[in-house]
Amino acid sequence: MKNENIPVAGAHVKQEGDAQQATPVSAYQKEIALIKVPFGLAGARNGAELGPDELVTAGLKREIASLGYRLTREVRVDCPVQPANVPARRLTAKYLNEVQQVSEKVCQEVSSTLEEGAFPLVLGGDHSVAIGTLAGLTAHYQKLGVIWFDAHADLNTEDHSLTGNMHGMSLAAGLGHSTFNLSQIRGAGSFVDPSKLVYIGLRDLDLYEKKQIRAMGIRAFTMHDIDRLGMKHVIEQAIVIAGSGTDGIHVSFDMDCLDPREAPGVGTPVPGGLSYREAHFAMECLASSNHVVSMELVEVNPLLDQNRHTARLGVGLIASVLGKTIL
Ligand SMILES: NC(=[NH2+])NCCC[C@H](N)C(=O)O
Ligand SMILES: [Mn+2]
Ligand SMILES: [Mn+2]
């Protein structure tokens, strides 16, 4: 049930020779659904549940409108919050039931958005919200490419996680490695194809995750690779890997891929991350590739932020994916 009118972001990016005025585009390219997921129980610290509202306060809707997109739906997924003084039920996968509930709701919203022909923009929340996003996307797209911007690989399973935090397990669920995986989510499609998955920004991996990346042959551009090759080469390669022979690219953007000096408001900061321009440049290249079919931006933690810096940066990066250019 592939949508013929695949809504791609940035389709209106001005090409050389275009008139100065914004180029009119057909409506389907310019429809967007905002799916807010205020869920933070699967993260390492409190506060990621405040991310969606913070991004809106930082001007997200204004930015979307000024790029000429019509907001076709705006939903706030009803998410469980931690009851006071009740300990997590399991240590191997904390708040598993809650993650499952939220994943099903996110899956439904993403599916409906795609059926309507709009572009899903999912706002986390911690990175466990990606499980629901991937579930909804795979239901719609047979061959999904994924570019995962993150300091972390989020490949842990219940048996291998050292923390029990499920935001570190979302891709294991997407690939079908963990016991809790996409097949347990009502409405989900098939697992993500590891050969169509690309990491960008990795620099903090658990031993099991390193082994998995090697064993599966997953393409991973670590910070070392970005230093060595430059973001231009990295993002171009990533677009080829995730974009060729697929129905489109999903951009899963964990704000902790950025250097903590740029994005202090994240729950699991790791030094030595992407610069402001590296991140924007990658988003701009994704926009002009015309391959991006959905995006999620996660792990904005307003409680740890300074002057809304991280949320504002997040809004800017979303704008770049949606086609905002400097000139
Ligand atoms: N989405 C994230 N920020 N994930 C961080 C995961 C950190 C660590 N690898 C863990 O499994 O707990
Ligand atoms: Mn992550
Ligand atoms: Mn991360």
ipTM associated with this complex: 0.98
Kindly give the distance from the C-alpha atom of residue 244 to the centroid of ligand 1, in angstroms, as a whole number.
29
Share of the chain above pLDDT 70, in %: 89
Mean pLDDT of 313-319: 98
pLDDT in tens, 69-87: 999 999 999 999 976 555 5
The minimum-distance atom of ligand 1 relative to the CA of 267 is: 3
- Tell me, yes or no, if 154 is annotated catalytic: yes
Check 104, 158, 247, 256 and give the catalytic one: 256
Residue 48 has pLDDT above 90, yes or no: yes
Q: What's residue 51's pLDDT?
A: 98
- Domain definitions of the chain by residue range: 31-80+91-321
Check 158, 254, 259, 296 and give the catalytic one: 254
More confident residue, 34 or 88: 34
**Residue 78 buriedness (CB in 10 A; 0-12 / 13-18 / 19+):** exposed
Residue nearest atom 6 of ligand 1, based on CA coordinates = 168
Q: What's residue 88's pLDDT?
A: 56
Which residues make up the environment of ion ligand 2, defined by Cβ < 5 Å? 127, 150, 152, 154, 254
The minimum-distance atom of ligand 1 relative to the CA of 254 is: 1
Q: Cβ(132)–Cβ(104) under 8 Å?
A: yes
User: Rounded to an integer, what distance in angstroms lies between the CA atom of residue 166 and that of residue 247?
Assistant: 28
Q: What's residue 90's pLDDT?
A: 57
Residue 4 has pLDDT above 70, yes or no: no
User: Rounded to an integer, what distance in angstroms lies between the CA atom of residue 167 and that of residue 68?
Assistant: 33
Residue 11 has pLDDT above 70, yes or no: no
Reading phi first (left if > 0) and then psi (alpha if -120 to 50, else beta), residue 218 is in: beta
Residue 117 has pLDDT above 50, yes or no: yes
More confident residue, 286 or 11: 286
pLDDT in tens, 211-248: 999 999 999 999 999 999 999 999 999 999 999 999 99
The 119-124 sheet, strands edge to edge: 70-76, 31-37, 119-124, 292-298, 248-254, 144-149, 197-202, 219-222
Q: Among 21-35, 213-227, 259-273, 274-288, where is mean pLDDT lowest? A: 21-35
Closest C-alpha to 256, from 323, 305, 194: 305
Residue nearest atom 3 of ligand 1, based on CA coordinates = 268
pLDDT band for position 110 (cuts 50, 70, 90): very high
Residue 12 has pLDDT above 50, yes or no: no
Architecture of the domain defined by 31-80+91-321: 3-Layer(aba) Sandwich (3.40)
Check 12, 127, 140, 177 and give the catalytic one: 127
pLDDT band for position 23 (cuts 50, 70, 90): very low
Q: What's residue 87's pLDDT?
A: 59
Average pLDDT value over all residues in the chain: 92
Q: 279 is written with which tokens?
A: 């991140």
pLDDT band for position 208 (cuts 50, 70, 90): very high
What H or E segment, with its residue span, contains residue 212? helix 207-216
Q: What's residue 16's pLDDT?
A: 41
pLDDT band for position 324 (cuts 50, 70, 90): very high
Residue nearest atom 7 of ligand 1, based on CA coordinates = 168
* Confidence (pTM): 0.92
pLDDT band for position 259 (cuts 50, 70, 90): very high
Mean pLDDT of 20-44: 74
Ligand nearest the Cα atom of residue 257: 3
pLDDT in tens, 164-173: 999 999 999 9
DSSP category for residue 183 = G
Q: What is residue 290's three-state secondary structure?
A: coil
CA atoms within 13 A on the CB side of 197: 20
